[in-house]
Structure 1
Amino acid sequence: MFTKLSILLLLPIVFAQNGEFQPKPGYFPATGDDINAGGIFCISLRDYGKYTKDHPAGVTGSESPKAPGAVTSGSGPYPAVMISDPSLPNHTIYAPKTPPGDLSMPFISWGNGGCGIDGAGYRNFLTEIASWGYVIAANGAIGGSDGSRQSKVQDRRDGIDWAMKGGAKKYGNVDTTRIVSMGYSCGGLESMSVAYHDDRVKMLMLFNIGIFMDEKRYLLQEIKVPVAWFVGGPKDMGYLNSQKDYALLPKTLPAYLANLDTGHCGTFAATNGGKEGKAAVAYLNWQYRNNATSKAILLDPKAHGSLVADKWNVTYKNWA
């Protein structure tokens, strides 16, 4: 069961201050940074009620987990751990417990719901991904949920900078030519702001979110990498917005949009991240391991274990 506090931590709330980004068609700031959490793609606290009144954050669906799942080391071939690394303050690392030989591991930058700073908040989900041979830097220290601040785009950039400088090498053969910006809710909008004008980011994965303000959708012109959305169906505040974003991406950009009836809360808390954990791993293994089984799970409704068989509604474009 989700407590009132846990629901509040999911909200993509940001605090408005003087000097925040003001959208204007044709105006493209140099970076995705803003004084508001979530960066230029996000909204301010004063606008939150306006954009979410019809889709409250705490509403769940038929596929929502009934209770938090067990904490495991993931279901993948490389049992994973959640750890703090003094060389990257204010972050939490998820990685295989034992560096997996010569396996090339993409690097993932993760943003939490609410742009929160508890790096353990999505432990089940992120551990599952890491167990398949990925290294993840999540915003915030383990248990860092004091509520006094939210993450900013620069926090995510700090993690990428750290990986680029070799900080992640202790966890194995980390491939910094394959960097994914990934996040949930406010952390998803933050992920878009991270990828904006940063060519080190090669892929976007967004969970349960889309751009709230129509006035900001012109910024999608500057997204240059493939985008995947995993959203919670019509009850999710990200449902209609992600559809609008999907339609407005640059014409030739590969995109994937999947919906599961979870509402905004997703399945992150389920054992191994539930169906969102399975979908994320399949997408990553298709993209970065050229795994034919994973590709079929994403694209072929008749494949064994397909997302469609798991009750996802799927659409995609510009994928062979």
Structure 2
Amino acid sequence: MYILYIPFLLGSIPLAFGQTTAQFQPKPGVFPATGDDTIAGGIFCIPLSDLSKYDANTPPSATGTESPKAPGAVTSGSGPYPAAMLTDAGLPKHTIYAPKTPPANVSLPFLSWANGACMTDGSQYRNFLTEIASYGYVIAADGPPTGSTGGQSKVQDSRDSIDWAMKGGAAKYGQIDTTKIASAGHSCGGLEAMSVAYHDTRVKLMILFDIAIFQDEKRYLLQELKSPVAWFVGGPKDMGYINSEKDYGLLPTGLPAYWASLDTGHLGTYAATNGGKFGKAAVAYLEWQFRGNTTAQAICQDAKAPGSLVSDNWNVTYKNWA
């Protein structure tokens, strides 16, 4: 692997799963009111001291046949609305990704994004998030784009961005549809996204990249999830692979779920040009879910459709979708 690519995520991985003492203690039948916790990533995450119990066979540095060999070029995305990475005085602890020019007569869904390692560097996933934004989305990533502030994000950081959008803070970027809000994130950030969506009815989709619940004793909390869940993971070398299979099987009866795996290991393809195959998959899933795009739906569900995820070497399964 090209040496400059590794620090994109791996340099932060030792901090990926929070501080050392969790406030929430899981016990069947005990459901906290919110997903907040004293550790980064919220109630679905684990303390850093516990990480070695779970990742011995799936180290974050492992790569696969689909892993990029080098970082990709920075672009404005491949979508119809060229996008940019921005800062906003109204949300100074975040980085905004949005179309450069507000699209006319197009409503824009909103995404809160939490980074790998729950790091506070909003530029960490620039290629990937710019790609999504170029299809008509506004995204607020935890942390400013100037690098990590030295701390880790908490559930409230993602919630702050949702509050900001709900109060009209994102209106300068276009017509924001606050009925279409997703929480998403990679690694520790994915568990933060799940913790944000827990008991927050404003969140209509949760999307977890390369991660799922580590602790079996916390899986009972899945029964409280109300919004569709999607996992995009990096194959058997990814620490999120086996755990996402477990979580997928334990969701509430009837809850829509989508699971896709590509052989990349934990690092995905986020730093590739336009986010690589993870960028394409994320856009297709969002276009299907939030815009009812039948072509995007076919890409996600139909192995024989032109440009399907299966034709891109994803292993896909889903349930409770029409």
TM-score normalised by the chain length of structure 2 = 0.97
Q: 1:21 aligns with which of 5, 11, 24?
A: 24
Matches of 2:57 and 2:248, distance apart in 1: 21
Structure 2 gap segments, 5+ residues each: none
Q: Structure 1 CA distance, aligned partners of 2:205 and 2:32?
A: 21
Q: Is 2:44 aligned against 1:41?
A: yes
For residues 6 and 97 of structure 1, what CA distance do their matches in structure 2 show?
Answer: 27
Opposite residue 234 of structure 1, the aligned amino acid is P
CA–CA separation in structure 2 for the residues paired with 1:257 and 1:16: 30
Distance 2:256 2:217 in 1: 23
Quick one: distance in 1 between partners of 2:9 and 2:226?
Answer: 34
Q: In structure 2, give the amino acid aligned to 1:55.
A: T
Residues of 2 paired with 1:4 and 1:182: CA distance? 21
Q: Residues 298 and 3 (structure 1 numbering): CA distance in 2 closer, same or farther, change over 3 Å?
A: closer
Residue type of the alignment partner of 1:53: A
Q: Does residue 177 of the first structure (1) align with residue 179 of the second (2)?
A: yes
Q: Are the aligned partners of 2:9 and 2:116 in contact in 1 as well (CA < 8 Å)?
A: no
Structure 1: 4+ residue segments shifted above 3 A = 2-6
- Cα distance between partner residues in 1 of 2:316 and 2:287: 18
Preserved contact between residue 10 and residue 265 of structure 1 (Cα < 8 Å) = no
**Shift of residue 206, structure 1, vs aligned partner:** 0.7
Tell me, yes or no, if structure 1 residue 145 matches structure 2 residue 148.
yes
Determine the C-alpha separation between the residues in 2 that align with 1:225 and 1:5: 30
Percent sequence identity over matched residues?
69
**Is the contact made by 2:8 and 2:124 (CA closer than 8 Å) also made in structure 1?**
no
Query: Residue 201 of structure 2 aligns with which residue?
Result: 199
Task: Report the 3-state secondary structure (helix = DSSP H, G, I; strand = E; otherwise coil) of the residue aligned with 2:311.
Answer: coil
Q: Secondary structure at the match of 2:199?
A: coil
Take 1:86 and 1:178, find their aligned partners in 2: how far apart are those partners? Answer: 24
- How far apart, CA to CA, are the structure 1 residues paired with 2:91 and 2:314? 36
Spell out the pairing of 1:272-311 with structure 2 (5 A cutoff).
Answer: 272-311=274-313
Could you say which residue in structure 1 is the equivalent of 2:229?
A: 227
Aligned to 1:247: 249
Maintained 8 Å contact 1:10/1:185: no
Give yes or no for the alignment of 1:9 onto 2:8.
no
Aligned partners of 1:110 and 1:138 also within 8 Å: yes
Secondary structure of the equivalent of 1:160?
A: helix
1:204-224 deviation per Cα after TM superposition (whole angstroms, max 9, x unaligned): 111000100000000001110
Distance in 2 of aligned mates of 1:4 and 1:212:
24
Measure the CA separation in 2 of the matches of 1:48 and 1:315: 28
- The Cα offsets for residues 166-203 of structure 1, whole Å up to 9 and x where unpaired, read as 00000000011110000000000000000001111000
> Helix, strand or coil for the counterpart of 2:163?
helix
Residue equivalent to 1:164: 166
> CA offset at residue 5 of structure 1?
7.7
Corresponding residue SS for 2:265: coil
State the partner residue of 1:316.
318
Q: Secondary structure at the match of 1:176?
A: strand
Q: Which amino acid aligns with 2:102?
A: P
Cα 1:104–1:317 change in 2 (3 A) is same
Task: State the AA in 2 paired with 1:47.
Answer: D
Structure 1 unpaired stretches of 5+: none
3-state DSSP class of the match of 1:235? coil
**C-alpha separation between the residues in 1 aligned to 2:202 and 2:13?**
28
Number of aligned residues: 318
Task: Find the residue that maps to 2:111 and give its secondary structure.
Answer: strand
Amino acid at match of 1:70: A
Instruction: Tell me which amino acid in the other structure corresponds to 1:274.
Output: G
Q: Separation in 2 of the partners of 1:20 and 1:149?
A: 18
Match of 2:220 in 1: 218
CA–CA distance in structure 2, aligned partners of residues 185 and 71 of structure 1: 22
Q: Give me the whole-angstrom Cα distance separating, in 2, the residues matched to 1:217 and 1:241.
A: 10
1:75 corresponds in structure 2 to: 78
Say if 2:83 and 2:97, in contact at 8 Å, map to a contact too.
yes
Aligned-residue offset at 1:89 = 1.5
RMSD of the TM alignment (CA)? 1.1
Q: How does 1:129-144 map to 2 (within 5 A)?
A: 129-144=132-147
Change (3 A) 1:163 1:79: same
Secondary structure of 1:89's partner?
A: coil
**CA distance in structure 2 between the partners assigned to 1:190 and 1:53 by the alignment:** 22
Which of 115, 122, 132 is equivalent to 2:125? 122
Aligned residue number for residue 66 of structure 1: 69
SS in 2 for 1:309: helix
How far the C-alpha of 1:302 sits from its partner, in A, is 0.4
- Offset, 1:20: 1.7
